[in-house]
Copies of this chain bind each other. A is one copy, B any other.
Amino acid sequence: MRPYDERLDRFLSRAAKVFADQGYHSTTMRDLAAATGMSLAGMYYYVRGKEELLHRIQERCFTRVLAGAERALEGVGRGHADPVERLQTFIRHHVTFFAANLAEMKVLSHEANSLTGERQRKVNAIKRRYVDLLEGLLRDVAPDEPAVERSAAAYALFGMMNWIYNWYDPAGEIDPDRLAGLIARVFIGGFADARSPSPVHGG
Interface residue? A116 (CB, 8 A): no
Number of A interface residues in the complex (CB < 8 A): 53
Distance in angstroms between the alpha carbons of A199 and B193 in the assembled complex:
14
Encode A27-46 as 1/0 by CB contact (under 8 A) with B.
Answer: 00000000000000000000
Please state if A163 and B155 are interface contacts (CB–CB under 8 Å): yes
Distance in angstroms between the alpha carbons of A191 and B190 in the assembled complex:
7
Residue numbers of A with Cβ under 8 A of B are: 23, 25-26, 88, 91-92, 109-110, 112, 148-149, 152-153, 155-164, 166-168, 173-174, 177-191, 193-194, 196-203
Given contacts A149-B182, A152-B179, could you give 6 more A-B pairs where the C-beta distance is less than 8 Å? A26-B26, A112-B166, A148-B173, A153-B182, A185-B199, A186-B191
